[in-house]
Amino acid sequence: MVYASSAATYGEGELGYHDDHEIIEQLHPLNPYGISKNEFDKWMLHQEDHPPFWAGLKFFNVYGPNEYHKARMASVIFHSFNQIKENGKVKLFRSHKAGYEDGEQLRDFVYVKDVLEVCYWLMENVNREASVVNGELTTHHSPLPSAIYNLGTGKARSFNDLVKATFAGLDLQPDIEFIDMPEDIRDKYQYFTEASMDKLKAAGYTKEFYSLEKGVDDYVRNYLSQNAFY
C-alpha cells in the first residue's frame, strides 16, 4: 500500500520537516486538509495489522501535467502560465511576515514525474518471494522498511524563482506584480517548507530529482504550451 500524505501536516514547521514517526502526534497543521492527512498518518501508525509493505508519502508542492482539473488548487506554474498568456504578467502574494521579501516565500517544489518515479520504485523494490508451505502458496515481502516518507526535492526555492522559470519556458522576460494576500489565509500560510530526504535515501532511493528550472521548463514547453491534456 502506498498512500498520499502531505507536507501540510507540518504546519508552520516549528518541529522541522523531518519524517520521524515520533513527532507526528505533536504536529499542528494549519488547515483542515493538513489535519486530515495527519490524522490518517497517526491512524496508520496505531494499527496492529498492516499490509506486508506500506508507505505514506508526504508530498510537498507537487506540480506538473494534468493538474488542470484542480482549478484554484493547481500549482502556481499552471496559474502563472495562464496569466502570462492572458495579461503578460504574473501576480504573486506580497509577504506579510517579517524576514521574507515579496515573492521570497520558500517552498519545496517537486515535479510530478519524480513523484511517480518514487511511487513505482517503492512498489518494484518490495521483494516478493513465493514459496510453498504445508501445501499452500505464500508470498514474502520486504526488505524496504514500511514507513512515512517525505517526498520533495530537499531544496526550498522561492515563488520568484518559480515564476521566472515559467517565463523562461516561454522565452519571455519576467513581469511580476505583487498583491496583498487575502486576510482569511494569512494565518494559515506556510512561508517555508523543505523536505528532509534522508529517510528515503537511506531506504535506497538514489535517482536525482529534477531541478526547479528543468522541471518547469519541461512542463511549460512540452505540456502547457502544447495544450497537452490527457
User: Catalytic amino acids?
Assistant: 33, 70
The interaxial angle of helices 159-169 and 76-87, nearest 10 deg, is 50
Kindly state the cell numbers that stand for 152. Answer: 520533495
Measured CA to CA, the distance from residue 81 to residue 91 in angstroms comes to 11
Kindly state the cell numbers that stand for 227. Answer: 495544450
Of 120, 121, 122, 118, the closest CA to residue 153 belongs to: 118
Kindly state the cell numbers that stand for 170. Answer: 516561454
Kindly state the cell numbers that stand for 209. Answer: 530529482
Measured CA to CA, the distance from residue 161 to residue 123 in angstroms comes to 33
Q: Which residue type does 184 have?
A: D
Residue 140: Cβ within 10 Å count: 11
Give the residue carrying C-alpha cell 502556481.
76
Of 196, 113, 108, the closest CA to residue 155 belongs to: 108
